[in-house]
Chain A
Amino acid sequence: MARTLKLRIWRGDDTNGALQDVTVDANPGEVVLDIIHRVQATQMGDLAVRWNCKAGKCGSCSMEINGRPRLACMTQVSAYGEDETITITPLRAFPVIKDLVTDVSFNYKKAMEIPSVEMPADLKPGEARMQQVDVERSQEFRKCIECFLCQDTCHVIRDHEENKKSFAGPRFFIRIAELDMHPLDMLRNRKKQAQEEHGLGMCNITKCCTEVCPEHIRITDNAIIPMKERVVDTKYDPIRWLGSKILKREDLIQN
């Protein structure tokens, strides 16, 4: 039942590194992360890889498999041909720490730059009333498991370190969209901020982020495009934005 698998795994650190050939057994139904663990346990005890849940829920085991940003725990070995060599490399958009582990602190810095949710001052715990249909829009974005594959694939920063300063990336565009569509959030100008402070304008809607999202979040269609459109709207009509927000709020809070 077991098959012999040929792998090329990138090994090295921030100073240098290279692909190393490895041959290892694979059982039916196994995913790439299983194979990496077997290599670790039998051949390379110090092979560095991040992982946690092994069920596609935590977003830790992000790497590039044959050049595609993927979660290793959700990538079936059987998806590759019998004679195919599987090449495993670290995420390209982030600096390597060791082997398959990269420094993703960029994302945590960006998270810090996005203003948090601002609740209505008079709202008391337990009194919020929201309709399912209204929370669902933000819920789609809150499915994000922070695997950062969208960040990795985004060509604005993938090979352009210089853009990182002014570009938050798809993960944080959906964070801004989530807050913007949050029925209780009171902060104004989130779309404008996305445009002016977080580099939304640099995105040219190639949808690469949507394609790699393991949670199938429609990043481009449901977050980026609507924000781009409404940025144009509100630039000319800020009252309209405020009006809709206040009206909506009064419907939502129990009197």
Chain B
Amino acid sequence: MTSPKLDRYKYDVVVIGAGGAGLRAAVEAREAGLSVAIVCKSLFGKAHTVMAEGGAAASMGNVNDNDNWMVHFRDTMRGGKFLNHFRMAELHAKEAPDRIWELEMWGALFDRTNEGKISQRNFGGHEYPRLAHVGDRTGLELIRTMQQRIVALQQKDAKEFGDSEKFIKVFAELTITEILKDNGKISGAYGYWRESGDEVLFEAPAVVIATGGVGKTFKITSNSWEGTGDGHALALKAGANLVDMEFLQFHPTGMVWPLSVKGILVTESVRGEGGILTNSLGERFMFKYIPDVFKDKYADNEAEADRWYLDQDNNRRPPELLPRDEVARAINAEVKAGRGTEHGGVFLDVSQRISAEVIKKRLPSMWHQFYELAGVDITKEPMEVGPTCHYVMGGVEVEPDSAAAVGVEGLFAAGEVAGGMHGSNRLGGNSLTDLLVFGRRAGMGAVNYVKSHGANPVSESSITKAAARIEAPFARTGGENAYALHQELQEVTHNLVGIIRTEVELVEAIEKIADIRKRSANISVAGTRKFNPGFHLAFDLDNMLLVAESTAKSAVLRQESRGGHTRDDFPGMNSTWRQVNNIASFDGEKVTIKSQQLPVLPKELFDLFDVHELEKYMTPEEIAKGGSN
């Protein structure tokens, strides 16, 4: 094969990922006068952000003016079972409203209240109606607004400098295979154009990782093909850490039928709008699954749950609106107990409660999705739903204020790829504002870094190494098939690292993942470099394997059940484990996990909670201390 072409570019900042977080980071860097390359694996505007349905959580208080950042902060910490990095949860709760209003200034059109303000809807784990939304296509509104904001900035640059790409250029359908370091600091990134297979070098002193999630590591997922943990793996290989990779959110309601759509998301808004969950016996089973820590906030009988929709001040919430991890486990338990539907799910019904007209107006894409893909009319009949791998709470360990990756100078991470913000479980609606709050902060972090550090040239040896890795699978023939190995990995994670875990299974998973990784070194690719999905998958798979290894190894260590990590052999929460983060690092051969103390809640945040609530999560010593000073 003739050696491929190499395109070289120089930027101040390279943003990997063009979802909400990446684009928000790019806007921030451009507005500070820096040049930015935005790299996306897909076409511009197709990022997984587009799939977010329910809304963006921000305590604007438009619907219930009792809401404020402190209530939002409390809800976020409760949802994450107090494993969240408090500072991230605090920044998020404080800054989310400004980020939503900013979107409106950039042209977003959210649904309105009668007073003409941005409407806010109820969602699992949020005490007040808090989610800004556009029907059930909020993610599309967010990504399109950010995309159009980038275009607006480019138009401005065209007018002022005669070149729309003078400061921001979008590199669509480009995969990054390596983050480059020279002199111990970030020097750039290396990858290939998916279209031609030609190689690309970015020289840049700062890299922002905003690559989203890892869902494709699992068999049943709501994630698109892009969710292959690229940023998680790139960061690990660059010397960064991943925090708490055992925490994966299985969204309680994915489609279960037909087979081809298994895993596709059914928005939580269906429950927010009044949808109820029943088993094959017709029982509204969620009343049986309210954990002690939530008993004072959730109704234990149908009458009260129903009244809540009309009077939220004097009634407790329906248990269908418990945090996602609780609902997913409940559904899992019902199905296991033989009370599931024909296709292994439970029923979610909104038709009994809301008129057909309102359903079509409030949940248009759900109506459309079920009607066109499953032949089910949700205005007349219930949906069949079951858990689907939706979101990874674990991710790159970052400094909360700057989103700087711990341990690697010049590297930043924001959005789903970053860890800490959501603790052991993310509340619905917190993701979209997470993207904006920390996308902006990562942009600011990169700006400050570049301004104080300047350029860091890439060495020829870094380039040669990165290029050799891309060429390798073409040089082999008759080796392993990337598609087959990917399926094998998905079976292992699904069966052994899924919703319910045990030590025996996790140990088996670690061995099997290591075996697949060994064999993956022998993948060969048929065809040429030109838009070749087999070639692309070979690199995606390498990332997924590192993610799966980190997840399994963290999961086997954590001997408790909390949020998105449920151990059959350790069923309860353990307040000693609450003080610990599992930190994954990579030595080039294997992932190792070390324990690290969680930062202690400062006194002013500690005092936002009723001490009796904290007693359910914290050790007596922690309570006695009353937070740090």
Contact = CB atoms under 8 A, between A and B. Distances in A.
A157 interface: no
Interface in B90-115: 97-98, 101-102, 104-107, 109-112, 115
Interface stretch (B42-50, B301-309, B334-342): B42-50
Interface in B216-237: 224-226
Interface residues of A, number: 58
A29 B105 contact: no
A188 interface: no
A48 interface: yes
B105 A135 contact: no
B27 interface: no
Nearest to A253: B116
B258 A55 contact: no
B269 to A, nearest CB: 14
Contact of B533 (A40, A128, A131): A40
B5 to A, nearest CB: 16
A18 interface: no
B107 A129 contact: no
A211 interface: no
Contacts of B48: 52-53
A225 interface: no
A131 to B, nearest CB: 6
B69 interface: no
B101 A126 contact: yes
Interface stretch (A81-89, A98-106, A233-241): A98-106
Contact of A29 (B97, B148, B258): B258
Contact of A142 (B43, B60, B141, B484): B141
A46 B43 contact: no
B368 interface: yes
A245 interface: no
A139 to B, nearest CB: 5
A34 B225 CA distance: 13
Contacts of B43: 50, 60, 104
Contacts of B152: 116-117
B609 interface: no
Interface in B144-166: 144, 148, 151-152, 154-155, 158, 164
Nearest to B223: A53
Given A58-B224, A125-B104, A27 B259 contact: yes
Given A116-B151, A125-B101, A131-B112, A142 B144 contact: yes
A58 B46 contact: yes
Given A40-B483, A48-B533, A52-B225, A143 B140 contact: yes
A130 interface: yes
B575 interface: no
A142 B217 CA distance: 32
Contacts of B107: 116-117, 119, 179, 182, 185
B140 A57 contact: yes
A117 B50 CA distance: 21
B148 A116 contact: yes
Contacts of A54: 224, 261, 264
B190 interface: no
B50 to A, nearest CB: 5
A247 B530 CA distance: 55
A41 B373 CA distance: 23
A115 B264 CA distance: 36
B16 interface: no
B490 to A, nearest CB: 12
Nearest to A129: B116
A127 to B, nearest CB: 8
A219 to B, nearest CB: 17
A97 B531 contact: yes
A55 B369 contact: yes
Interface in A1-49: 13, 27-31, 34, 40-41, 45-49
B259 A29 contact: yes
B187 to A, nearest CB: 30
A98 B260 CA distance: 26
Contacts of A117: 106-107, 148, 152
Contacts of A98: 195, 530-531
B260 A132 contact: no
B526 A55 contact: no
Contact of B42 (A45, A52, A56, A76): A52
A139 B134 CA distance: 8
B588 interface: no
Nearest to B99: A125
A130 B373 CA distance: 35
Contacts of A135: 109-112
B481 interface: yes
A232 interface: no
A59 interface: yes
A138 B141 CA distance: 12
B46 A29 contact: no
B26 interface: no
Nearest to B482: A45
A29 to B, nearest CB: 2
Contacts of A51: 224-225
Interface string B557-568: 000000000000
Contact of B531 (A48, A74, A143, A252): A48
Interface in A107-130: 108, 111-112, 115-117, 119, 123, 125-126, 128-130
Contacts of B115: 129
A203 interface: no
A129 B117 contact: yes
A112 B134 contact: no
A30 B44 contact: no
Contact of A131 (B116, B261, B372): B116
Q: What 5 A-B pairs are tightest by C-beta distance, nearest first?
A: A29-B258, A46-B527, A129-B116, A116-B152, A125-B101
Interface of B: 42-46, 48, 50-51, 60, 97-98, 101-102, 104-107, 109-112, 115-117, 119, 134-135, 137, 140-141, 144, 148, 151-152, 154-155, 158, 164, 195, 224-226, 257-261, 264-265, 365, 368-369, 372-374, 481-484, 487, 525-528, 530-535
Interface of A: 13, 27-31, 34, 40-41, 45-60, 74, 76, 97-99, 101, 104, 108, 111-112, 115-117, 119, 123, 125-126, 128-132, 135, 138-139, 142-143, 145-146, 179, 182, 185, 252
7 contacts: A28-B259, A29-B258, A125-B104, A132-B111, A138-B109, A142-B134, A185-B107
